Amino acid sequence: MSKEFLDVVPSLSLAGCGDHVIHDAITTNRKVVKIIWDEDDVPEHAKGYIQWSTRPYRVTDRCDGTRDSNAMLVCHELSKATGLDINSIYHDAYSDENRETFFTPEYLKHLEQHRCETEIPELTAENIIHLLKSLYDMNWRSFTEKLSEAWADKGYAVDDFYHM
């Protein structure tokens, strides 16, 4: 996908960027990113589709269709910092897919490309809760449930994250 990072200016709404994205960028002091889905693996009917989002990604951000890799990078970093075996957790969540690993070296290399547009937060229960909510909203529900259990087992008060 192609990405273009833009400072917020009034002309963005004329270019097709939604007012809510511009408002979010202004109120959170971030940039707007214009994403054009043009990679080889994008289905033909979606090639050239344009989306707008704010960057850098923060764990308080919710799903907008563009932030999964950013959230997974944070998930990997916080899992590593807390000693979780993220591949084991992923496999436990999605064992029916017969995938023993998800965070492969290739996938980690892909995630690393998103580091410059991702805020890696301080390791706190509150930030873990925000990340879990973000991942849950991105439809990583089984994975999020298993992560919350694993972090709760490590002593983080996150086991009831979706009710907070």
The edge-to-edge listing of strands for the beta sheet with 31-37 is 2-6, 31-37, 49-55
6 pLDDT more than 70: no
Same domain, 81 and 105: yes
Same domain, 110 and 150: yes
Same domain, 51 and 73: no
Q: How far from each other are the two terminal CA atoms of the chain, in whole angstroms?
A: 34
Same domain, 147 and 95: yes
pTM of the entire predicted model: 0.88
- Torsion sign across C-alpha atoms 147, 149, 150, 151: positive
86 in Cβ contact with 74 (< 8 Å): no
115 pLDDT more than 90: yes
**Crossing angle of helices 68-82 and 86-93, rounded to 10°:** 120
In a domain, 63, yes or no: no
Same domain, 14 and 80: no
Contacts of residue 96, Cβ cutoff 8 Å, sequence gap at least 6: none
How many domains are contained in the chain? 2
Q: Of 55-69, 83-97, 120-134, 149-163, which gets the smallest average pLDDT?
A: 149-163
Per cent of the chain over pLDDT 70 is 89
**Structural domain range at position 19:** 2-55
Same domain, 39 and 99: no
